[in-house]
Structure 1
């Protein structure tokens, strides 16, 4: 049996080698299978200590609060990356020299945070293209020149707000994570607002040559789809979300694309969307050529905890009854690994539907049960108990303990509440968008995770037909930006002293059309929007206006939240005991852990002798045939690391000018292997950067 298993691993490794050019990194995360695996082994466990900086390229686009999360593509010696301002750059991958740049902003200043996690590359003969999104546009540019492909859409771009089955002109929609390309079809999801109004998160397949829509899968199902019974009548006309913002994976041989989705909007209170809400919070298997659904699995019924699937799944091969089974592995924000047969959707580890508590908030009807796996064990802690309260200092312990007693803290799926409910792992996960890496040599599955608690508190929206700018702001904006306008930077920026950064015309345009994840509020009409603008810019709150009359709107909910609140101690460190971030390796055949370590440190705590605390970490890992696991991710120490993939032992590290909140790439040119890491930082008030670092062994 052991010989058969080894042959199976060898065959899989050979197939991956055929699909992936050994010298290149031509797809987001290395391949459409999303394994983040490379067959390169020149850099290995025996020589990693000699790894040196080969070159560094500074985009010059970093600004306070900016982020840069791009996984570089490398094709035929050229590296394609994005900058914090969403410029697309082509670099000589051996030297870091700039070859060309494309600016979708056309030189206009960029001060608000933007994100791009990578690009799609496609070629047919001499036609070589890159696809990426900026704002609501999907662009195609010539990979050799950086010029828009005139025959794609209109002058090289298409509008993602179109072809959604409803008017999305003033709704926020973009695509921060690239899709996958099957033959001549680009399959892509979207990022939409998490509040209402929001665009629907339908999955679409576009013709790579023309930009024509080839197919659409409606994640908020229309009448006639059996899944429509899990929504109120007419939900397809007003509910948004159920979108795939985290990316997709594809089985190229079978032509199946695997799509993870997030929650329906509004994320935290669902009185207007009674039912389980298929296809929100699902892994969906679709025929890549037609968009036809093959199977689905829902991880959270009627989500009110923001339990989006945070990353694209990973295609793996496991042993069952001594035989190889092609599978798809999905990690979750709540800290679990799910494993499915790629073809049938059958779960390959057991799970059960467990009874969960009902909501005591009026209007909310939660599902009676929720699915939880029985194996593997979770990779993040599941409940914040008094035993888990920080012991960093006696003072911190007492403050956190007293606050914990004032809120609800229970097992997974404890309902949102008026007094506040602990979400652990927090809204960012657990598992996050960097996702897992898979090593076909060993069968190990690697996950970096956060172990942070957050507090979810529902607050009533102020109501009444006669309202002022302050009331309108609190009703429509305070859920993200807080009543005091302090926000939760960088995800939700502070609006205090906005007049120093935005003109009245700019504020008015954003209120009408939206920006980033923020929806447009054009439906409130001009008098109401003008009142909000005056309140934001000058604090004026004297004018009382009449809101739009008519029947109650299904998007005007009774409750919102009081902001995105991390549960921190008085000094700003996590409220729970360490580790605050972890790195784990799981045997995907058996579900048993091979190793698990704290991941990341706080330099100021290390200086006091407090080491190995772990820290928040964002971005994925790359695993290689050289026995190494490369990963940046750690938010507090700005380090790029190399670990022994079999043991978890740290073998090498390098401190960059900002955190590596992206996924590295590895490639070879003229027989020389490189590893490249983007240092964008900017997460949760971290220092922002805009540089790419490439490493290699000395000649």
Structure 2
């Protein structure tokens, strides 16, 4: 792996001088932020601060200067996916490589200062780190697979007094056989006083670890408190599950990240859905605290209040984004609030201390499931005071008209679907439209909010479909095929074709990967795929044999042992797979926009603006622009009047928009897609904007990963200061 930072030359001085001389209105709030030499401004927490607002007070890069941004440095981070939003403390930037090595870079040059390699296979998403300091003590917390390390920020070496030799095993402390747990710190924990508070990512099918929020002592690694998101007997919410479900139920985990109100001592934790995602016959009831925003006392882990966004979820509608703390005006008074975005395209807004909704939320009736054994909730919560930021119901007039052939194919497919809006139960033998899709509207990048109460949200606006099929263990397949259908088909499809790039095709996987390489992925996970530690090695070998034979009905294995190993973990119906609704050319089969950037005024619930986000270069070449595209990674907002975001998959751009209007002011080329949330910071009086990039989501584009930093060239800064000094 190349580990070199590269300084990139700025633009010619003469061109910059001309650009600044002809610009009009060069100030923000009457003052250009030319910080004293040596001043630094940190980005010391995931989301900017523990409030998760992704807001920066820096104004050196502003609506008038942003047009002169140039690449300042670039750091090669390896091959693979990269979703990290780094930390910057002082002049040091802390981040991950693509294989979860922890790295420290000089924030002004990109020079590698140190790296830490846990020496374990690690291809899980790692979106950030956690920094703590008190007095002369400093610690950098980094998740590597199932371990949480405490590192010395100066050297990258583990602090051996923490946990077991410098780390704690997040598989433990959950009240079950920890060796069968898959628990990954996809999003980093947050620090409150002398504790680090963490959630985790786990499997989305059984077996999955039971969800929990835990606080550990930052010095010793000892468990300080735990909140079980699947309540135990005697705990509030236990009645919303079958009496014994807590013993075998899984997930309802906090994977997207959290926010903390430091003044009130409240941690806000958004949870995912319970397994199995799409068929819940074994978990009758509303299933608290899955799909919920839970407010916990950060000192004790006790529940203060909660809101469940989906009752008895069978659509994989987990809360996908960290919440953001914001202050809004309500009935003439300032109210400290917490905003939570959702895959449905909703924003829920609550008073922080009490959980009181600041806009009405109605429990509306929805159809019951007709699948045997399934018991859907008769109602679901719908916010009515804040406008949705994604389309809610796919109808025939919304299908693509990109070409006559694409339109005809979309119309033919649509006639076979059930499409009636949100919360329509999946059917057996027929696909149901989920719109916005399983990866939309909001995603894990999170929103940004400014002090005026405006929230900025990027959204995916693409339709997906899903369905159920009956599981019949007596029919058709070898043990490997049966296990594949039971464990793998939900993501990769019964036909092994997947839904690329999110869910890769496994057709002909034997020609691309050896048996050992497939086994390594099953043991360690990769990208969106978790590991499967609870599946015995013999069973994994059967799946590998099935995959490498390209689905052939090869004999082998004891079918009775496989199908009767644990009947309770084999549901009567299984998901048919994630299916994106695409036209024959691979583009979304609905009319654009396919991705948007939205500004909503949380004081009123109304749109400030809404624009398409992203393009497809191949369609631009055909004259079709501003379609929007799927996007992953969120925005930041600055006091300089800017919303800055990468996120788009195919056009490989970082963009800066005017926060007041949504007008595009600047865009810079990236080597790979910026599928991460950017950060901004100041070192030696110069403001930088940095984003992680990688080619993992677009296999047809260039492959690799890099951190890319942008700044104003020194010539531009000097000329602007000169112009400012000449003004009265």
Please confirm whether the aligned pair reaches a TM-score higher than 0.5, indicating the same fold: yes
2:48 pairs with 24, 30, 35, which one? 30
Which of 660, 663, 667 lines up with 2:681 in the alignment? 667
1:272 is paired with a residue whose SS is helix
Q: For the Cα contact (< 8 Å) 2:40–2:684, is it kept in 1?
A: no
> Secondary structure, in 3 states, of the residue corresponding to 1:240?
coil
**Which residue of 519, 523, 533 maps to 2:544?**
533
| Equivalent position to 2:600, from 566, 570, 586 | 586
Equivalent residue in structure 1 for 2:496, among 475, 482, 485: 485
Alignment of 1:208-357 (within 5 A): 208-357=218-367
Q: Counterparts of 2:565 and 2:110 in 1: how far apart (Å)?
A: 60
CA contact (8 A) 1:197 1:521 kept: no
Q: Does 1:96 align with 2:114?
A: no
Give the structure 1 partner of residue 479 of structure 2. Answer: 468
Structure-1 separation of matches of 2:417 and 2:473:
26
Partner in structure 2 of residue 152 of structure 1: 162
Unaligned runs of 5+ in 2: 1-38, 715-728
Alignment of 1:442-457 (within 5 A): 442-457=452-467
Aligned counterparts of 1:276 and 1:623: Cα–Cα separation in 2? 37
Aligned mates of 1:663, 1:463 — CA distance in 2: 44
TM-score, normalised by the number of residues in structure 2: 0.88
Give deviations 1:562-614, integer Å, cap 9, x for gaps.
22110001111111100011111111111111111111111111111111111
- Does the 8 Å CA contact 1:216/1:291 hold for their aligned counterparts? yes
Residue in structure 1 matched with residue 179 of structure 2 by the alignment:
169
Tell me which of 435, 440, 450 is aligned to 1:429: 440
Cα displacement (A) at 1:340? 0.2
Q: How many residues align?
A: 669
Which consecutive unaligned segments of at least 5 residues does structure 1 have?
Answer: 1-20
> Which residue matches 2:713?
698
Counterpart position of 1:543: 556
- Work out the CA distance in 2 between the residues paired with 1:38 and 1:505: 46
Shift of 1:470: 2.1
Tell me the equivalent position of 2:532. 520
Q: Does 1:646 align with 2:660?
A: yes
Contact 1:472 1:528 in 2 (8 A): yes
The answer to whether the 8 Å contact 2:486/2:570 transfers is no
Q: Identify if the C-alpha distance between structure 1 residues 559 and 289 changes in structure 2 by more than 3 Å, giving closer, same or farther.
A: same
Q: Aligned-pair distance for 1:519?
A: 5.2
1:199 aligns with 2:209: yes
* Deviation (angstroms), 1:509: 6.7
Q: Give the aligned partner of residue 16 of structure 2.
A: none
Q: Is the 8 A contact 1:189 1:204 kept in 2?
A: yes
TM-score for the superposition, normalised by structure 1 = 0.92
1:192 is paired with a residue whose SS is coil
Q: Secondary structure at the match of 2:181?
A: coil
Residues 1:686 and 1:643: Cα distance change in structure 2 (over 3 Å) = farther
Spell out, residue by residue over 1:336-386, the C-alpha distance to the aligned partner (whole angstroms, 9 max, x if none): 111000000000001210000011111111000001011111000001100
Q: Alignment RMSD, CA only?
A: 2.0
Does residue 115 (structure 1) correspond to residue 94 (structure 2)? The answer is no
Structure 1 residues 627 and 654, CA, compared in 2 at 3 Å: closer, same or farther?
A: same
* Pairwise CA distance, 1:453: 0.3
**Structure 1 residue aligned with 2:704:** 689
Task: List structure 1 segments (4+ residues) > 6 angstroms apart after TM superposition.
Answer: 512-516, 549-552
Aligned-partner SS, 2:180: coil
* Partner-residue secondary structure (3-state), 1:554: helix
Q: Find the aligned partners of 2:674 and 2:518 in 1 and give their Cα distance.
A: 32
The Cα shift of 1:84 comes to 1.3
- 2-side partners of 1:40 and 1:680: how far apart? 27
Tell me by how many angstroms 1:429 deviates: 1.0
Summarize the Cα distance change of 1:91–1:544 in structure 2 as closer, same or farther, 3 Å threshold: closer
CA distance in 2, matches of 1:536, 1:619: 32
Deviation of 1:677 (Å) = 1.4
1:318 and 1:327 in contact (8 A); partners too: yes
* Contact 1:197 1:519 (8 Å CA) reproduced: no
Aligned to 2:5: none
Measured in 1, the distance between the counterparts of 2:502 and 2:198 equals 23
1:51/1:697 contact within 8 Å kept: yes
